[in-house]
């Protein structure tokens, strides 16, 4: 039996962040177990968009604290070679008259209330930032100049390397088969490479968090949902200087950003294809989907009418009923802390989530209150449903 002070299951951007923060808080006898390789889960599929724009105020707080880390990643990790691959392109979000307008207005107010720089732009100002798009139908355009995008895989491997330097042990290719329980408490894990003990286990398993249900008998409201991402090559480049764009007026609530400084990465920000199991294999992207997204892109970016698909991939979201994560200790399972259900927006929250989950695991007061994210909200009606409705903008 090998003994640790804490075990983390999953080495995506969340699990590696938890491990790093545990060590930073002085808990260095930490074991991280991952079935595959560091960052090879849904982290490697991320579009990487960073913004603090949310209609759920709790998310704004986590995103704001996380942004400070992304913005100073190497210093924060004490590793001058670490990079989050951040491109501070800014974030534009526009709504026409209609259902999304009030949500946008109140989200911008909430950001301002927390001291985040956001501006309201007119169509001409927006066009000067993103000349390839049209803004003639926009009733309100928000702009967050400090936002942008980064590289989730780089961030996960950055957290992992910094954690290792602080003494954390990360084992790849190890499957956790079950929790070890004694007198109703979690005391470790059973794995494909034997048993390990620890007084606290943190599950950062993303779409595989249904394992917890199997291990504890307690329902975990998370479903895997497949989303497709396209990289388009258009006649006008989508440069790194151009902001990320969220189009609340399009049927699919499209999000777009520069890809490689030239192409456009685009995906829909609404409900995707439900998967029966946490199947993380690449899925087919139907021609119908490409045509549907292509039409929305051409409507917003007229010159992209003639754009071609340069590449495409699919990724899975770990979706909960209110599209927000479950964070913290599981009330009925002492010794178990969970962080799953990021519903397509977990990367931008990962530094702060890692910190608060590490604090929770160590029985410390969390820097940001995570009680609203408790599993119990699905039983007591305190859902964190965003004003935009279901979708990753939340």
Ligand X SMILES: Cc1cc2nc3c(=O)[nH]c(=O)nc-3n(C[C@H](O)[C@H](O)[C@H](O)COP(=O)(O)OP(=O)(O)OC[C@H]3O[C@@H](n4cnc5c(N)ncnc54)[C@H](O)[C@@H]3O)c2cc1C
User: Which residues contact ligand X by CB under 6 A?
Assistant: 9-15, 33-36, 40-43, 45-49, 152, 175-176, 204-206, 208, 211, 227, 229, 315-317, 342, 344-348
CB of 306 to ligand X, least distance (A): 25
Distance CA(187)–CA(198), nearest Å, equals 5
Token pair for 208: 């595989």
CB atoms within 10 A of CB 293: 24
Do the Cβ atoms of 245 and 130 come closer than 8 Å? yes
Contact (CB, 8 A) for 41 and 206: yes
* 3-state secondary structure (DSSP) of residue 91: strand
Question: Both tokens of residue 152?
Answer: 């989730």
- Cα distance between residue 273 and residue 226, in whole Å: 5
CA distances from 288 to 55, 248, 295 (A): 31, 21, 11
Question: Burial, 133: exposed, middle or buried (Cβ in 10 Å; 0-12, 13-18, 19+)?
Answer: buried
Find, among 71, 148, 60, 65, the residue nearest to 109 by Cα: 60
Taking the alpha carbons at both ends of the chain, their separation in whole angstroms is 43
Strands 49-50 and 6-9: unpaired
CB of 373 within 8 A of CB of 59?
no
CA dist., res. 31 & res. 188, Å (int): 11
């Amino acid at each position: 039996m090998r003994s640790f002070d804490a075990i983390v299951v999953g080495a995506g951007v969340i699990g590696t962040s938890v491990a790093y923060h545990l060590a930073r808080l002085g808990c260095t006898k930490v074991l991280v177990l991952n079935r595959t390789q560091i960052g090879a889960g849904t982290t490697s599929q991320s579009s990487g968009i960073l913004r603090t724009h949310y209609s759920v105020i709790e998310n704004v707080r986590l995103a704001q604290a996380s942004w400070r880390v992304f913005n100073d990643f190497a210093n924060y990790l004490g590793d001058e070679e670490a990079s989050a691959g951040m491109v501070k392109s800014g974030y534009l979000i526009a709504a026409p008259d209609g259902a999304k307008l009030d949500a946008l207005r109140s989200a911008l107010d909430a950001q301002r209330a927390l001291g985040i720089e956001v501006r309201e732009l007119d169509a001409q100002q927006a066009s000067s930032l993103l000349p390839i798009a049209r803004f003639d139908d926009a009733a309100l355009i928000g702009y967050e100049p400090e936002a942008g995008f980064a590289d989730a895989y780089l961030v996960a491997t950055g957290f992992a390397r910094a954690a290792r330097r602080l003494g954390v042990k990360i084992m790849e290719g190890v499957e956790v088969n079950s929790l070890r329980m004694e007198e109703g408490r979690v005391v470790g894990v059973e794995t494909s490479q034997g048993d390990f003990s620890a007084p606290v286990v943190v599950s950062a398993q993303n779409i595989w968090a249904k394992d917890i249900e199997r291990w504890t008998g307690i329902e975990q409201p998370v479903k895997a949902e497949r989303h497709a991402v396209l990289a388009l090559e258009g006649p006008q480049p989508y440069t790194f200087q151009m902001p990320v764009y969220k189009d609340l007026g399009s049927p699919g609530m499209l999000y777009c950003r520069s890809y490689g400084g030239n192409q456009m990465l685009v995906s829909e920000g609404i409900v995707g294809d439900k998967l029966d199991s946490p199947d993380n294999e690449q899925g087919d992207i139907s021609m119908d989907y490409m045509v549907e997204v292509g039409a929305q892109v051409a409507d917003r970016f007229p010159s992209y009418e003639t754009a071609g698909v340069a590449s495409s991939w699919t990724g899975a979201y770990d979706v909960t009923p209110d599209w927000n994560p479950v964070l913290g200790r599981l009330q009925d399972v002492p010794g178990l802390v969970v962080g799953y259900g990021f519903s397509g927006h977990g990367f931008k929250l990962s530094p702060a989530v890692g910190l608060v989950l590490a604090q929770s695991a160590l029985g410390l007061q969390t820097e940001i209150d995570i009680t609203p994210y408790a599993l119990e909200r699905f039983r007591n009606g305190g859902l964190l449903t965003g004003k935009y409705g279901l979708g990753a903008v939340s």
